[in-house]
Amino acid sequence: MKKHNFSAGPCILPQSVFREASQAVLNFNGIDLSILEISHRSKEFIAVMEEAQSLALELLGLQDKGYKALFLQGGASLQFLNVAYNLLENKAAYLNTGTWSSKALKEAKLLGEVVEVASSKDANFNYIPKNYTIPEDADYFHCTSNNTIFGTQMFDFPQTSVPVVADMSSDIFSRKLDFSKFSLIYAGAQKNMGPAGTVLVVIKEDILGKVTRIIPSMLDYKIHLSKESMFNTPPVFAVYVSMLTMRWLKNLGGIEAIEARNREKAGIIYREIDRNPLFKGFAATEDRSIMNATFNLTDEALKPVFDQMAKEAGINGINGHRSVGGYRASMYNAMEPESVQVLADIMKELENKA
Amino acid sequence: MKKHNFSAGPCILPQSVFREASQAVLNFNGIDLSILEISHRSKEFIAVMEEAQSLALELLGLQDKGYKALFLQGGASLQFLNVAYNLLENKAAYLNTGTWSSKALKEAKLLGEVVEVASSKDANFNYIPKNYTIPEDADYFHCTSNNTIFGTQMFDFPQTSVPVVADMSSDIFSRKLDFSKFSLIYAGAQKNMGPAGTVLVVIKEDILGKVTRIIPSMLDYKIHLSKESMFNTPPVFAVYVSMLTMRWLKNLGGIEAIEARNREKAGIIYREIDRNPLFKGFAATEDRSIMNATFNLTDEALKPVFDQMAKEAGINGINGHRSVGGYRASMYNAMEPESVQVLADIMKELENKA
Ligand SMILES: Cc1ncc(COP(=O)(O)O)c(C=O)c1O
Ligand SMILES: Cc1ncc(COP(=O)(O)O)c(C=O)c1O
Ligand SMILES: [Mg+2]
Ligand SMILES: [Mg+2]
Ligand SMILES: [Mg+2]
Ligand SMILES: [Mg+2]
């Protein structure tokens, strides 16, 4: 049965990527070895790593602008720590827009002064704070560009002289931005980029080397950069599948092409949420994420019926996070508009039934 | 062409595991979703994680003995840091038997006093020091059970009241030991356990909670234990393939069965190294690893000829590490004795030719 996978991450990836990856597990590039058994020092894997790094920069429009891309382990969560270890000397500014921002902020506090410039915690993070002030003497400003759990997304980024660091785990490669406004971008692979098991870190090299503390090797961006993501054994398969997914995106027309499709998908679901009296959106309208749509039933009693309808339609992974309840439809890059239409259709069908 | 993969890691895994993993990338357990797109919170993946943790303890004979198993990211290299962060309060004792021990020691020094109880650096780590003394007031003693680069292995472990921590990255699940003598064992998956991208950490729980420092969340074993390896998104595929590999090992008869086969393989190669006047072993005879055999040509001029013969025989990955030169034949669990015989045969053939 065809599944419509709305999982928040790990999540849907292109079917063509699954086919290529499956084949590479048996025989990679016709070399009679599995991608799982080749050395990370082999010329075959070095080529994969180089292509992955270069595709990441190319998709973001950051080639030849002083940026480097790393593929590391530990997920976005380890970057919460690494960012502070590598950049926080005196003071850092954090915008708190949800669970992930809060966790990032918590780790940074272990290493220095942290100013929370604004928070939407007062309203269970259903909006993005605006009009906050970033201290000019901050070492960096940290934000979460898309709040996976609450379904909000930042559409404006502050104009500031302070280096901007963004956790783009759940909207990397989904929309055009001037990425050169960011000094550091990180993203766990397991949404738009690939399977769980690697994290992309894109760094403007000139922001490094300014802290006085000694950084443990595995947390030190300079060490990872000097070894081109091979300071220790990289997560070979996760990098390979991420590379395939970025290739797929490039062939599809890159970020511009996918953004149009992502807006189309978001339009389908939000129109239905607004139109349908049985559903209401969770996030403030102007901050609605084009990746994760969060919504609730107006009458919770309808949940068993709706869940059964979703199951019969092959819909997977729409249960909301416990912090929000209700539903969350994650519509990452690889999802076809048809799948979102299937969801909108059963929402309408519920209305007709009820 | 059938390849004989002697790669030091990532390395050979069972062919049946490749087939199952390849299928799961297309359709996992018949659920019409790829293993790469399912949520780590799905019941399907939770079952995988639980089976992996329980197989690891079962294979080591550590069930119901106060141990827990974790599958984390960051490789063995991040454990160099984590071990010290979680256990080093006053003083730690390290045995230095090679590159990996040295790196572990280096990270520990960032967090407290480290005593190097002995080192074989004087002889380019070609032997395992014996008769060293472990300070009784050390928080723990750290050793590397198998030195992947130099081809030495520890066959005796010290009798001590100090908790013993071992990096078993390159000999985990390869031979029977009384694993209950260890308080903490860690091993990057990418040798005997699975693909690159996850690290096994087996911890005796009662050794934790004794340091006074605040530990960053992602480095804190207690946090990972409390979330059963799911504090953040685990490396789903690497854990899955590790689980399949451990299942394979269990079905084969577990560590006892594989140890017999590993000894048989080591016998084949070391007998040929000793017999053949064109080759000499690198490691001290009594410390020779049954996982990685290091050896050199007595006449370097024969290298191009021998390399060509190896290539024609389908032999892959026998180039020695630059610290040792010559050759290294890594013969991990999944390698069949026949493959080692193919290598021994061409060594003999070289002698006949020369
Ligand atoms: C925005 C955001 N940041 C960070 C994380 C944590 O990522 P990881 O599980 O890779 O550590 C997530 C996970 O869903 C996320 O959505
Ligand atoms: C004994 C030993 N320890 C540690 C490591 C480092 O492992 P990782 O690359 O997973 O950090 C290796 C890698 O080969 C190893 O052989
Ligand atoms: Mg969030
Ligand atoms: Mg409505
Ligand atoms: Mg070594
Ligand atoms: Mg000889």
pLDDT by position in tens, chain A (length 354): 999 999 999 999 999 999 999 999 999 999 999 999 999 999 999 999 999 999 999 999 999 999 999 999 999 999 999 999 999 999 999 999 999 999 999 999 999 999 999 999 999 999 999 999 999 999 999 999 999 999 999 999 999 999 999 999 999 999 999 999 999 999 999 999 999 999 999 999 999 999 999 999 999 999 999 999 999 999 999 999 999 999 999 999 999 999 999 999 999 999 999 999 999 999 999 999 999 999 999 999 999 999 999 999 999 999 999 999 999 999 999 999 999 999 999 999 999 998
Query: Hey, is the C-beta of A227 within 8 angstroms of any chain B C-beta?
Result: no
Of A237, A252, A267, the one marking the end of a domain is A252
CA nearest neighbour of A86 among A179, A204, A235: A204
For the question of residue A139 being annotated catalytic, the response is no
- E strands, A220-349, are 279-281, 292-297, 315-316, 327-330
The first and second tokens of residue A57, run together, are 């920069």
Same domain flag for B61 and B127? yes
CA nearest neighbour of B327 among B151, B160, B174: B151
Question: What's the pLDDT score for residue B152?
Answer: 99
B70 CA: distance to closest CA in chain A (Å): 14
For the question of residue A191 being annotated catalytic, the response is yes
Name the region of A29 (left: φ>0; alpha: ψ -120 to 50; beta: rest): left
How many residues does this entry show for chain B? 354
Asked, for residue B53, whether it belongs to a domain, the answer is: yes
CA–CA separation, B348 and B78 (whole Å): 42
ipTM score above 0.90: yes
List pLDDT tens digits, range B177-213: 999 999 999 999 999 999 999 999 999 999 999 999 9
Residues of chain B with pLDDT under 50: none
B238 with A237: CB under 8 angstroms?
Answer: yes
Question: What's the pLDDT score for residue B354?
Answer: 81
CA nearest neighbour of B60 among B185, B166, B161: B185
Of B232, B252, B272, the one marking the end of a domain is B252
For B4, the enclosing helix (H) or strand (E) is: strand B4-5
DSSP assignments along B133-186, one per residue:
---TT-SEEEEESEETTTTEE-------SSPEEEE-TTTTTSS---GGG-SEEE
How many residues does this entry show for chain A? 354
B165 with B183: CB under 8 angstroms?
Answer: yes
Q: Which residues of B249-282 are buried (b: 16+ CB within 10 A; e: fewer)?
A: beeeebbeebbebbeebbebbbebbeebebbebb
CATH classification of the domain holding B306 = 3.90.1150.10
In single-letter form, the type of residue at position A289 comes to S
Asked, for residue A7, whether it belongs to a domain, the answer is: no
Residues 6+ positions from B106 with CB-CB distance below 8 Å: A217, B80
Same domain flag for B96 and B203? yes
Question: What's the pLDDT score for residue A354?
Answer: 81
Question: What's the pLDDT score for residue A289?
Answer: 99
Asked, for residue A197, whether it belongs to a domain, the answer is: yes
In the stretch 80-119 of chain A, residues with CB closer than 8 A to chain B read 80-81, 103, 106-107, 110
* Rounded alpha-carbon distances, angstroms, from residue A201 to A57, A87, B182, B238, B274: 10, 14, 36, 21, 49
Q: Which residue has the tokens 């493959």?
A: B339
CA nearest neighbour of B190 among A87, A279, A45, A70: A45
Mutate to test the interface with B, among A23, A37, A49 (most CBs of B within 10 A): A37
Asked, for residue B6, whether it belongs to a domain, the answer is: no
In single-letter form, the type of residue at position B262 comes to N
Question: Residue B154: how many CB atoms within 10 A of its CB?
Answer: 22
B109 with B83: CB under 8 angstroms?
Answer: no
Same domain flag for A248 and A264? no
Question: What's the pLDDT score for residue A113?
Answer: 98
Same domain flag for B126 and B267? no
Q: List, as residue ranges, the binding site of A for pyridoxal 5'-phosphate.
A: 76-77, 100, 148, 167, 190, 232-233
Same domain flag for A130 and A183? yes
- Across the interface, do A33 and B316 touch by the CB < 8 Å criterion? yes
CATH classification of the domain holding B158 = 3.40.640.10
- Across the interface, do B196 and A316 touch by the CB < 8 Å criterion? no
For A258, the enclosing helix (H) or strand (E) is: helix A254-275
Domain range enclosing B337: 254-353
Q: Which residue has the tokens 């359709």?
A: B27
Residues 6+ positions from A235 with CB-CB distance below 8 Å: A71, A73, A197, A198, B73, B196, B197, B235, B238
B100 with B149: CB under 8 angstroms?
Answer: yes
Same domain flag for A226 and A311? no
Asked, for residue A322, whether it belongs to a domain, the answer is: yes
CA–CA separation, B96 and B109 (whole Å): 13
* Rounded alpha-carbon distances, angstroms, from residue A94 to A107, A203, B86, B275, B324: 11, 18, 28, 67, 49
Asked, for residue A10, whether it belongs to a domain, the answer is: no
Same domain flag for B286 and B242? no
Give B32's contacts in chain A (Cβ within 8 Å). Answer: 1-3, 314
Same domain flag for B40 and B102? yes
Q: What is the DSSP letter of B189?
A: S
CA–CA separation, B70 and A154 (whole Å): 36
Same domain flag for A156 and A236? yes
List pLDDT tens digits, range B266-276: 999 999 999 99
Asked, for residue B10, whether it belongs to a domain, the answer is: no
DSSP assignments along A182-234, one per residue:
-SEEEEESTTTT-STT-EEEEEEGGGSS---SPPPGGG-HHHHHHTTT-SS--
Residues 6+ positions from B122 with CB-CB distance below 8 Å: none
Q: Is the dihedral of CA A157, A158, A161, A166 positive or negative?
A: negative
Percent of chain B that is helix, strand, coil (3-state, to 5): 40, 20, 40
Residues 6+ positions from B297 with CB-CB distance below 8 Å: B278, B279, B303, B306, B326, B327
The first and second tokens of residue A164, run together, are 């901007």
Same domain flag for A37 and A161? yes
The domain tally of chain B equals 2
Of B231, B252, B273, the one marking the end of a domain is B252
Asked, for residue A1, whether it belongs to a domain, the answer is: no
Same domain flag for B131 and B82? yes
Q: Is B232 in the pocket of ligand 1 (CB under 6 A)?
A: yes
Give B81's contacts in chain A (Cβ within 8 Å). Answer: 216-219
For B237, the enclosing helix (H) or strand (E) is: helix B236-252
Same domain flag for A204 and A317? no
